[in-house]
Chain A
Amino acid sequence: MNKKKKDRRLIYRSIWRWHMYAGIIIAPFLLILAITGSMYLFKPQIEGFLYRDYHNVENLGEKLTDSAIVSTVKNDHPDATVTRYRPGESDTRSAEVKINENGTSYTIFVDPYNGKIIGTLDDQHRIIDRVEEFHGELMLGTFGDWIVELVACWTLVLILTGLFLWFPNKKWMAGTFFPRLRTHSKKILIRDLHVVPGFWLSLAVLFLVFTGLLWTGNWGTKFQTLTTNAGIGYPPSVWVGIAPSSSLQTKDIADVPWAAETLEVPQSTQNVYVPVSIDDIVQTTNNMKIYPTYEVIYPKTKDGVYTISVFPPKAKDEATLHIDQYSGEVLSDYRYANYKSLGKIMAWGITVHKGLEYGLINQLAGLFICLGIILLIITGVILWWRRKPDGHFGAPKSISVLKTRTVLIMLIFCSIIFPLFGLSVLLLYIIDHFIIQRIPKINYLFHTPIKKGEDKK
């Protein structure tokens, strides 16, 4: 075998090894993300069905004032703090008042025509919110958020290494662009059901990974900060940073839509004044021609501001407003049009990721990709299991990554862009070098016994 061919074979095996280990490690998490993701895609339909009795009201003519609706809830829950108010987007939609009572957040649904409370929902019991929590942080808080970020990064590794492994060296369409479903070989069938969908789905999964990474508390926040600072992303306060003259954050005020979770709000300038009424806030907001599903987030402190937040299905309708609670003036008004080019792309990417931008087709496409990912995981695990010898992981024999320049450069490049991924690689290296390779039994599990004349890992 000539040297060039041997080198290529070694690189191939090295990449295969990375693909296999990355796959085994992240498969369970990726499966969770695919399942919860496919459920979360249908949030509008699921919530619309679950809470239909709370959402729908009969049009009885003239609605009560917003302050009267909020007062109804206050009278019913005298010890609670009102955190958010959603006036309702149509004549047959109930108003929602979110309250915090003894540390628990509740949504109270009120009939805006007669002030009758038609439903109370403990926000902890919102199924879709729990699914979202599972999808975003595996219900493990910041630690889970890091894991999800790592899964996203390692999925990138899977895609890149997978594409390298897929790259055809023979010009056969079968087994490359479409699977050989009529084959009698089970091995070929499973291989094709992993490799071919993997190729076709790679772009879509790449899209989901990048847009999903924007949610992450670590990489996403840093990326947003970088683009906002550079004047190419979201304006300050929509995602990260402060709105004009502000030093306060709305993160603790209420459960605002994800894109405004770390919103900071402008400070009120005239603290000697009496706060304006919710009627004035709603009136001002309506005059600003905001998408009607907006929510009013109450100021949490004396010098806080009202935040009007709306993240409708289409990115172009997004808006974040801050209204001074004393003067009633709109302090900042950020719409999609005010986002810079990258901000607009991100906003669009996020709504597509959530299956909202293009309605049902978008949801079905998202579901199709999720199911495809599940297929890839199942066939990938089967492929590995079938070739795995007893007592050994069955990873392909390869040389150390430090000796393969191509892989090493890719690794360093990915580590620069995704520092948490770089850290995980460093951690794996330390574990491998100081633990695995020093304990013979574990070493055998991971590393193929070394034969004379061959490179060791």
Chain B
Amino acid sequence: MIRMIRLSLLNCLLFIIIAGCSFKTVDENAEKKYQQKSTLETVISIPENIKKEEDVILNLSFSKDKKMIKKVDNLVVQLWEKGSERQLPLTLDESSEGFYQIKTNFPQEGLYYIKINARYNDSIVMPTKQFIVGDYKEYDYEDNDVVHESHHEGHDSHH
């Protein structure tokens, strides 16, 4: 009898150790049981070779839950050269539903930034992309200093 109790006690303890090890990871689907947020994806398409003093079109589109968004609620585009406080003039058009075109002209070769401020429902995005105009190669693309401290005010907006 005692032997049986001892054996069952040992079995219980072994079970506990094994069971204890199975609570280690959180299920991938666990988040579905709580509040979830979908993200607003932004695609900024910049031509590979941009030459100075040439009219350039940069394309912009948004999607959420893998569906294209026809019109965002608010859109502000800023364009500037690295180290410069001055923002470049641009025109923002809707080419077709869900696609935006940014027309501009770069006065000189260099490293430039484009910042998008967009709002759609409860999502707000503010991505910044850097790109090169001309043969300017002094700057490293990895050089991600704080680049937009002084660029909070947008030049062009679309509602």
Contact = CB atoms under 8 A, between A and B. Distances in A.
29 contacts: A67-B146, A71-B146, A221-B24, A222-B24, A225-B23, A230-B33, A231-B33, A236-B34, A241-B26, A242-B31, A269-B41, A273-B128, A274-B144, A276-B128, A279-B149, A280-B126, A327-B127, A328-B124, A328-B126, A331-B39, A334-B35, A340-B34, A408-B5, A412-B12, A415-B16, A420-B20, A422-B12, A422-B16, A423-B13
Interface in B27-59: 27-28, 30-31, 33-37, 39-42
B37 A284 contact: no
Interface string B123-159: 1111111100000000000001011110010000000
Contacts of A415: 12-13, 16
Contacts of B148: 274, 276-277
Contacts of A423: 13, 16-17
Given A221-B24, A236-B31, A327-B126, 8 more contacts: A228-B26, A274-B113, A277-B147, A279-B152, A329-B124, A329-B126, A333-B37, A334-B35
Contacts of A272: 129
Interface in A203-260: 221-223, 225-226, 228-231, 235-236, 240-245
A35 to B, nearest CB: 31
A220 to B, nearest CB: 11
Interface in A389-423: 400, 402-403, 408, 412, 415-416, 419-420, 422-423
From B13, B25, B41, residue with most partner A Cβ within 10 Å: B13
Interface of B: 2, 5-6, 9-10, 12-13, 15-17, 19-20, 23-28, 30-31, 33-37, 39-42, 113, 123-130, 144, 146-149, 152
Interface in A264-284: 269-270, 272-280, 284
Contact of B125 (A229, A241, A275, A328): A328
A426 B13 contact: yes
Contact of A330 (B13, B16, B37): B37
Interface of A: 65, 67-68, 71, 221-223, 225-226, 228-231, 235-236, 240-245, 269-270, 272-280, 284, 287, 324, 326-334, 338, 340, 400, 402-403, 408, 412, 415-416, 419-420, 422-423, 425-426
Contacts of B10: 426
Nearest to A425: B13
A338 to B, nearest CB: 5
B20 to A, nearest CB: 4
Instruction: Summarize B's interface: helix, strand, loop or mixed.
Output: mixed
Contact of B34 (A221, A274, A334, A402): A334
Given A329-B40, A408-B5, A225 B129 contact: no
